[in-house]
């Protein structure tokens, strides 16, 4: 290799400086190695002894770089023995004109002599002008590359592609016709999906509960020592519409639009999350509710109604004993301990008494199956209604756009734009429902078994070793906290709607005897009566189905607005 310019000094020691713009270039390419090879060839041609190599993987628009700082320190430490500093080309040295000349002067003051196989550095006017042109060209190329990259990113984002760092739960993959696109990163994606859907549905009351759920998952990456996650990460997850399969970039004036990637949740679920976030602060879940005392904070004192607290107590022998107790000083039961086993055994017995009979289970299944079939038959009609609603929203948007064109008021235009953005979001939700949400994703058997598995035996979930499962039992089974009396145990609980529905089945039904109260009803009339009962159920009438005895099924029907009337009893 031949280099035209000649050195104008007597130094025979040299150091090499190489730079690439990012760590990714180090992993995917050999930019640093190529630069070093070229610089070593130049040093060999000039007869220099290379005594060190300094590298950076940062942008050349920064002055403060580890490799540059180490180079300057080396030169200053050897100021009595000048070294040649070899760079491949000006763009590898700096990408801004002021930084280029600042670094060159700093190297000169430290005793270094800048050289390159690409150009000659001298102090005459022509050389200085040429150097300035080269540095300006490097700066121009950097800015031009940045503008081109930014424009391509904006264009891809406009077309529905996520172009930023992949959110947790996603990673970049390649797909034919799309290039790089977000794909699920399992098992983290499923954990994020469960956390988001849990917060939207109320399974997790607060962001703190979402945080604690994810902290208990070994597969979920942690931010802090001791397996903790930053609160800001949870907030960011709940705020990102990318998890719903949509993209937006307000800083680029790119409005909400459907993304090319598959979301973890629906846009409707994301909207519920935002509604909950804007609903104001809620009382956080207590941090001291742990595996030792799962009922803490949920069971109340039977005398004052305050939630019971709990702790471990040490006896005179040094043995530790778990207790629940009331901490209200004004209460008669203040500090009067209740053994943990006593209260939790009573709770387990309470759950056991809520299990429905097999006959009740079968009849409930039959009614749900009928309602499920009716729901499926209504799906097509619901799609038509959703389509009409979309059309109405489009008309409203067109009207608002016309008002914006005609308006001269900045305030009015801003209000119209906000209204249009809201309507566009409603339109997207309707389109999502029409496409994916009208027909269930799972079969009746899958959905029914999932629900009834818990309703038929809540004790099974309560015996789980996971605290989240135990807390889920409390939320799903009871509509309010449970009062507990030290003398009488648990009082009559206020159960959730599904359990109240099953209780009505079991408690308000009386079996019809084999004898008759009236003339035998024709089979056709009976069938019509049953059909009527299903229709009333669909219209939110209250229906009660009883168990099986003597080969008969009894069915009693009350209209929701006329509970005081005497029920009609049909025999099948």
Residues 137, 17 share a domain: yes
| 391: containing domain | 358-448
Three-state secondary structure of 176-212: CCCEEEEEECCCHHHHHHHHHHHHHHCCCCCHHHHHH
Q: Is residue 120 part of a domain?
A: yes
Residues 417, 311 share a domain: no
Cα-Cα end-to-end distance for the chain: 102
How many CA atoms lie within 13 Å of 415's alpha carbon, on the beta-carbon side?
7
Q: Is residue 536 part of a domain?
A: yes
Q: Is residue 557 part of a domain?
A: yes
pLDDT for 441: 61
Q: Cis peptide before 291, with omega less than 30 degrees from 0?
A: no
Is there a contact between 18 and 38 (Cβ–Cβ < 8 Å)?
no
Q: Is residue 7 part of a domain?
A: no
pLDDT for 192: 92
- Among the candidates 88, 114, 147, a domain finishes at 147
Three-state secondary structure of 223-265: CEHHHECCHHHHHHHHHCHHHHCEEEEHHHCEEEEECCCCCCC
Class of residue 526 by CB neighbours under 10 A (exposed 0-12, middle 13-18, buried 19+): middle
pLDDT for 305: 85
Cα–Cα distance measured from residue 103 to residue 93, given in angstroms and rounded to the nearest whole number: 9
pLDDT for 469: 74
Interstrand relation of 83-87 and 112-115 (parallel, antiparallel or unpaired): parallel
Residues 409, 480 share a domain: no
Cα–Cα distance measured from residue 413 to residue 409, given in angstroms and rounded to the nearest whole number: 6
Residues 389, 350 share a domain: no
Angular region, 339: left φ>0, alpha ψ -120 to 50, beta rest: beta
Cα–Cα distance measured from residue 470 to residue 480, given in angstroms and rounded to the nearest whole number: 15
Q: Which residues contact 256 (CB under 8 A, 6 or more apart)?
A: 241, 246, 247, 248, 421, 424, 425, 428
* Four-residue CA torsion sign, 213, 183, 267, 453: negative
Distances in Å between the alpha carbon of 454 and those of 298, 450, 480?
A: 20, 7, 19
Residues 368, 272 share a domain: no
Count of helix runs (H) and strand runs (E) in the chain = 19, 17
Cα–Cα distance measured from residue 308 to residue 324, given in angstroms and rounded to the nearest whole number: 6
Residues 373, 344 share a domain: no
Q: Strand order in 338-339's β-sheet?
A: 309-314, 320-325, 338-339
DSSP 292: T
Cα–Cα distance measured from residue 264 to residue 270, given in angstroms and rounded to the nearest whole number: 10
Q: Is residue 291 part of a domain?
A: no
Q: Which helix (H) or strand (E) holds 544?
A: strand 542-549
Cα–Cα distance measured from residue 174 to residue 183, given in angstroms and rounded to the nearest whole number: 9
Residue by residue, pLDDT tens for the chain (572 residues) are 555 555 556 678 899 998 888 777 766 666 788 888 888 898 888 888 888 899 888 887 888 888 889 988 988 888 788 888 888 888 888 888 888 888 888 888 888 888 888 888 877 788 888 888 888 888 888 888 888 888 989 999 999 999 999 999 999 998 888 888 999 998 999 999 999 998 888 878 788 888 888 888 888 988 887 778 888 999 999 999 999 988 989 888 888 888 899 989 988 888 889 888 887 545 445 555 567 788 888 888 888 888 888 888 888 788 888 888 888 888 888 888 888 888 888 888 888 777 666 666 677 777 777 777 776 666 666 777 777 888 888 888 888 888 888 787 888 888 888 888 888 877 777 777 766 655 566 666 666 666 666 666 777 777 777 777 777 777 777 877 888 888 888 887 777 766 666 666 555 554 444 444 444 545 444 444 444 443 444 333 333 333 333 333 333 333 333 333 333 333 32
Cα–Cα distance measured from residue 68 to residue 74, given in angstroms and rounded to the nearest whole number: 10
Overall number of domains in the chain: 5
Residues 104, 85 share a domain: yes
Interstrand relation of 299-301 and 482-485 (parallel, antiparallel or unpaired): parallel
Residues 235, 178 share a domain: yes
23: domain CATH number is 3.40.50.1390
Q: Is residue 135 part of a domain?
A: yes
Residues 482, 343 share a domain: yes
Q: Which helix (H) or strand (E) holds 482?
A: strand 482-485
Residues 371, 310 share a domain: no
Three-state secondary structure of 505-518: HHHCCCCCCCCCCC
Interstrand relation of 246-249 and 254-258 (parallel, antiparallel or unpaired): antiparallel
Residues 396, 483 share a domain: no
Q: Is residue 294 part of a domain?
A: no
Q: Is residue 4 part of a domain?
A: no
Residues 367, 340 share a domain: no
261: domain CATH number is 3.90.1750.20
């Amino acid at each position: 290799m031949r280099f035209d310019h000649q050195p104008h000094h007597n130094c025979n020691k040299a150091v090499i400086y190489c730079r690439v713009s990012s760590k990714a270039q180090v992993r995917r390419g050999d930019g640093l190695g190529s630069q070093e090879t070229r610089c070593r060839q130049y040093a060999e041609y000039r007869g220099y002894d290379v005594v060190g190599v300094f590298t950076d993987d940062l942008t050349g628009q920064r002055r403060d770089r580890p490799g540059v700082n180490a180079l300057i320190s080396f030169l200053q430490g050897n100021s009595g023995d000048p070294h040649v500093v070899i760079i491949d080309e000006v763009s590898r040295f700096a990408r801004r004109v002021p930084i280029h000349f600042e670094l060159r002067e700093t190297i000169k003051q430290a005793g270094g002599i800048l050289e390159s196989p690409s150009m000659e550095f001298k102090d005459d006017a022509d050389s200085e002008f040429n150097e300035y042109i080269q540095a300006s060209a490097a700066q121009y190329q950097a800015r031009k590359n940045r503008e081109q990259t930014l424009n391509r990113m904006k264009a891809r984002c406009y077309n529905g592609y996520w172009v930023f760092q992949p959110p947790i739960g996603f990673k970049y993959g390649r797909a034919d016709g799309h290039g790089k696109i977000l794909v699920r990163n399992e098992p983290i994606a499923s954990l994020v999906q469960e956390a988001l859907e849990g917060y939207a549905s109320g399974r997790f009351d607060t962001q703190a509960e979402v945080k604690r759920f994810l902290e208990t998952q070994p597969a979920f990456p942690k931010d802090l020592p001791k397996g903790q996650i930053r609160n800001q990460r949870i907030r960011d997850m709940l705020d990102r519409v990318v998890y719903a399969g949509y993209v937006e970039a307000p800083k680029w004036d790119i409005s909400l639009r459907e993304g090319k990637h598959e979301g973890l949740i629906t846009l409707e679920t994301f909207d519920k999350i935002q509604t909950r976030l804007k609903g104001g602060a809620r009382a956080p879940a207590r941090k001291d509710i742990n595996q030792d005392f799962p009922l803490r904070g949920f069971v109340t004192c039977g005398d004052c109604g305050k939630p019971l607290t709990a702790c471990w107590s040490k006896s005179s022998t040094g043995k530790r004993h778990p207790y629940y107790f009331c901490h209200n000083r004004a209460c008669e039961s203040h500090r009067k301990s209740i053994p943990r086993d006593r209260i939790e055994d009573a709770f387990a017995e309470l759950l056991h008494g809520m299990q429905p009979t097999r006959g009740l289970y079968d009849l409930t299944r039959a009614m749900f199956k009928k309602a499920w079939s009716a729901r499926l038959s209504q799906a097509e009609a619901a799609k038509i209604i959703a389509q009409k609603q979309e059309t109405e929203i489009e008309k409203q948007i067109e009207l608002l756009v016309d008002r914006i064109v005609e308006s001269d008021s900045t305030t009015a235009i801003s209000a119209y734009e906000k209204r249009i953005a809201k309507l566009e979001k409603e339109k997207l939700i309707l389109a999502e429902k029409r496409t994916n949400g009208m027909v269930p994703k799972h079969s009746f058997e899958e959905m029914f078994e999932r629900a009834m598995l818990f309703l038929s035996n809540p004790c099974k979930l309560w015996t789980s070793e996971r605290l989240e499962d135990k807390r889920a039992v409390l939320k799903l089974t009871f509509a309010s906290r449970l009062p507990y009396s030290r003398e009488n145990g648990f009082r009559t609980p206020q159960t959730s709607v599904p359990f109240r529905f099953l209780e009505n089945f079991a408690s308000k039904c009386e079996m019809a005897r084999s004898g008759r109260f009236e003339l035998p009803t024709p089979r056709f009339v009976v069938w019509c009566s049953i059909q009527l009962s299903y229709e009333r159920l669909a219209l939110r009438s209250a229906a009660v189905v009883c168990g099986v005895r003597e080969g008969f099924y009894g069915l009693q029907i009350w209209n929701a607005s006329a509970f005081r009337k005497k029920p009609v009893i049909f025999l099948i």
